[in-house]
Structure 1
Amino acid sequence: MTSFTQSEPYSPYITISREEWAKTSDDAMLHLLDTKDLDQLHAMNEPLTEEEVTQIYIPLSRLLNLYVTSSQRLHATTSSFLRSRVHKVPYIIGIAGSVAVGKSTTARVLQKLLSAWPNHTRVALVTTDGFLFPNRILEQQHIMNRKGFPESYDIKKLIRFLADVKSGKQKIAAPLYSHLEYDVLSEHQWIEQPDIVIVEGINVLQVRPRQEKRDPSVFVSDFFDFSIYVHAQEKDIRNWYIARFESLRRTAFQNPDSFFHRYAYLSDEETIAMATQIWDDINKPNLEQNIQPTRYRAGLILDKGSDHFIKSVHLRKT
């Protein structure tokens, strides 16, 4: 094990190489995922192999299991102290990172693995896309081209949702988002007494300054028991975004109901040019101004190489 290099702004983390991290794995858990699972869990243009699951995600699920178990024991101790049956609340894990970095795959794999542990089988996954303002509101406010930036989210609604989760409310509605329609849906997913809730989104670790006195003094990350940031070099994320855009042009964009159907018949050169423009005008500024600066607020950083696989893990010292 080594520490962060001196080039980092500060070193509250233990840096663990892929090889060292893999030594904490448990091959017996690999049977939980078969080839069909691997195909369903990974995102477009993002590889997910048995080796990645064995060396990276199984150890991470083991670590999180220890944290959740510790939290459950603390709850039991508190109940004993108060001589009452205090209602157990879910353990919340936040997962942040750039567009196209692979945080959705990380979230889905962890949901699958964590649900296999007998003391927390009910694992819910919520994405913050559903908490975006609807397109009609973004258009009214003339910020449609800022979709994904902090001001495009209904943060108060997201905080109310998380407060309901942490209060132990038995049944909670979470709004859904359609990437086909590129808009929030009127439908909801219902969260019912989970042991763990995974909250995934580019904005979950952001702390916005209070604009008005009546604004909430709490932030999304205040509700997290643990947080993960999926990191990669900007040039690599840019390449992954462009490759994904090319794949979507040949697949999802061909659907007439797709918001991006107008891009379906672009040439290869036009597709690359359009994806590059969207990255440079929207996603790159958002990454640099709002997302990447939150990296060191995470409890754990997964550092990816250009091949999309994790090359090292940075765990916050405790």
Structure 2
Amino acid sequence: MDQITPSGLSPYRFFSAEEWAALGADMELTLSEDELRRLRSLDDPVDLEEVSRIYVAISRLLSAHVESSQLLFAKRQRFLKRSETAKTPFIIGIAGSVSVGKSTTARILKELLARWPSSPKVDLVTTDGFLYPNAVLEAAGLMRRKGFPESYDVASILRFLSQIKAGARDVRAPVYSHFSYDVQAGETILVDRPDILIFEGLNVLQVREMPRDGKAVPFVSDFFDHSIYIDAQEQDLRRWYVSRFLRLRQTAFRQEGSYFHRYSKVSEEEAVRIAEGLWSDINARNLRENILPTRPRADLILRKGPDHFIEQVALRKL
């Protein structure tokens, strides 16, 4: 994976981790160690210092965008001479590779955003629930392409986001179980007009081929007010993926009923071979073909170093 190189032609402003930390030096950290432990994913070493150094300032920046969006909404309503007071939710998309730490980032930002003085209601939904059920993927020969764009019910994602943006009450999102590695039939979560919705997934910034007739073709990212891409070198992503797989082999995979239970019974050498195969045959291909090409579409790029900590922030210029 290539480096993000600052240049005079770039649409981004670049900050080292130290420069970015200075922007949030006067902002209070309201997250406790116990809370962070609950939010942190397996094998993600993010600590309170990293939250204070990077994430607090990001949450303040996003909060400023939300406030500006609400002000623009009010001004537009006056311009249109409409008396509607209900504002549409501000949607933040978070993209990036498997094992890069999207879930941890999404959960931390959800907590921090809800703690700003305006106390916004913040919900988090992942695209995992919008995967086709395993039975459908197996019938279509797509189980080895799970996580690729074609494995998602994009029409359902677009309907969900359309309802959210329309300010609908109690919009239902499907639920996914990493234990059973499948969508949970009949299970949903309700999203009831949040101020902010964080929508996290591998391919949320994906685009499709544009129609030659000029007809409207909606993309998932069309519904985003701000987007974040979490970035890292491919060799680091691979190492983190294998490490997490080995940790899961000692924990969740040991439970009867786990989709990956069979992997808890193999030797560590065989487990490493399996994990590396899954990475190279599925996740690395998805990264190169579908995920990484969407990086330039993000408003904010968080570049991680080999230690899993953010070392560079790229912010799109206004």
Give the TM-score normalised by structure 1.
Answer: 0.94
Structure 2 residue aligned with 1:129 = 128
Which amino acid is 1:143 matched to? Answer: L
**Moved beyond 4 Å, runs of 4+:** 210-213
User: Is 1:231 the equivalent of 2:213?
Assistant: no
Amino acid at match of 1:57: Y
Task: Give the equivalent residue in structure 1 for 2:13.
Answer: 14
Question: What residue number does 2:57 align with?
Answer: 59
- 1:4–1:14 contact (8 Å) kept in structure 2: no
User: Which residue in 2 is equivalent to 1:305?
Assistant: 305
Letter in 2 for 1:286: N
Q: Which residue of 1 aligns with 2:38?
A: 40
- Unpaired segments ≥5 residues, structure 2: none
1:203 and 2:224 equivalent?
Answer: no
Alignment-mate amino acid for residue 142 of structure 2: I
Contact 2:176 2:182 in 1 (8 A): yes
Which whole-Å CA distance do the structure 1 matches of 2:220 and 2:255 have between them?
35
Contact 2:6 2:13 in 1 (8 A): no
Report the Cα offset of residue 193 of structure 1. 1.3
Deviation (angstroms), 1:118: 3.1
Q: Output the CA distance in 2 between the equivalents of 1:53 and 1:87.
A: 32
Equivalent pair of 1:180/1:259 in contact (CA under 8 Å) = yes
Which residue in 2 is equivalent to 1:70?
Answer: 68
**SS of residue paired to 1:14:** strand
Equivalent residues of 1:93, 1:199 under 8 A apart: yes
> Deviations for 1:261-293, whole angstroms, at most 9, x for unmatched residues?
010111111111100000010000000000000
**Distance in 2 (alpha carbons) for counterparts of 1:131 and 1:211:** 24
Alpha-carbon distance change, 257 to 210 in structure 1, aligned in 2, over 3 angstroms: farther
- Residues 4-52 of structure 1 show CA distances to partners (whole Å, capped at 9, x for unaligned) of 445x9x511000111110011155531x211111111111111111110
Q: Which amino acid aligns with 1:167?
A: A
Taking the aligned partners of 1:27 and 1:103, their CA distance within structure 2 comes to 26
Query: Partners in 2 of 1:212 and 1:107 — Cα distance?
Result: 36
Q: Percent identity?
A: 52
Give 2:24's aligned amino acid.
S
Question: Does 1:99 find its partner at 2:106?
Answer: no
After superposition, residues 135-154 of structure 1 pair within 5 angstroms as: 135-154=134-153
Distance 1:211 1:79, change over 3 A: closer
Q: 1:86 to 1:22 in 2, by over 3 A?
A: same
Measured after TM superposition, the shift of residue 87 of structure 1 is 2.5
Give secondary structure in 1 for the equivalent of 2:28: helix
1:121 is displaced (CA, Å) by 2.1
Distance 1:97 1:157, change over 3 A: same
Q: Deviations over 1:67-93 (max 9, x none)?
A: 000001111112222241242110000
How many residue pairs align between the two structures?
312
Q: Report the residue type matching 1:153 in the other structure.
A: Y
> 2:254: which partner in 1?
254
Distance 2:211 2:177 in 1: 30
Unaligned 5+ residue runs, structure 1? none
In the alignment, residue 46 of structure 2 is paired with which amino acid? L
User: What secondary structure is seen at the aligned counterpart in 1 of 2:265?
Assistant: coil
The aligned residue for residue 287 of structure 1 is 287
Instruction: Assess if the C-alpha contact under 8 Å between 1:150 and 1:290 holds in 2.
Output: yes
Does 82-91 or 256-265 show the bigger shift? 82-91
Secondary structure in 2 matching 1:23? helix
1:130, 1:174 within 8 Å by CA — same for their partners in 2? yes
Which whole-Å CA distance do the structure 2 matches of 1:274 and 1:211 have between them? 40
Equivalent position amino acid for 1:62 in 2: R
CA contact (8 A) 2:96 2:230 kept: yes
Instruction: State the Cα distance separating 1:216 from its structure 2 match.
Output: 6.8
8 Å CA contact 1:27–1:54 kept in 2: the answer is no
Indicate the RMSD between aligned Cα atoms, in angstroms: 1.8
Counterpart Cα distance in 2 of 1:203 and 1:307: 24
- Equivalents in 2 of 1:47, 1:221: separation in Å? 29
Distance in 2 between residues matched to 1:181 and 1:208, nearest whole Å: 30
